[in-house]
């Protein structure tokens, strides 16, 4: 049975973020869809800027693992 949007909206913000992440990952791994996903030049510039910032100071931010752990603790 498919999950309804109204059911998803009843979840906490952290649960919805995790749900969205799982949904996005399920799309990204499907080759037939991942080949069709294009990044706009604006988004590419933003990602390049963030990557450059990371290379200049890799310890400045949090790892994805740390971020997920913080979100999960807030449930």
Q: Which residues of 7-27 are buried (b: 16+ CB within 10 A; e: fewer)?
A: eeeeeeeeeeebeeeeeeeee
Range with lowest mean pLDDT among 24-33, 40-49, 53-62: 24-33
Range with lowest mean pLDDT among 5-14, 21-30, 58-67: 21-30
pLDDT of residue 35: 67
Give 37's DSSP letter: -
CB within 8 Å of 70: residues ≥ 6 apart:
62
Q: Could you tell me the pLDDT band of residue 17, with boundaries at 50, 70 and 90? A: very high
Give the start-to-end residue ranges of the domains of the chain: 12-73
21, 19, 25, 14: which is closest to 4 by C-alpha? 19
pLDDT of residue 75: 66
């Amino acid at each position: 049975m498919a999950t309804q949007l109204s059911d998803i909206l009843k979840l906490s913000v952290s649960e919805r973020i995790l749900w969205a992440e799982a949904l996005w990952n399920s799309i990204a791994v499907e080759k037939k869809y991942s080949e069709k996903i294009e990044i706009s030049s604006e988004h590419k510039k933003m990602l390049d800027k963030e990557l450059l910032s990371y290379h200049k100071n890799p310890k400045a931010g949090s790892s994805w693992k740390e971020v997920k752990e913080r979100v999960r603790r807030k449930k």
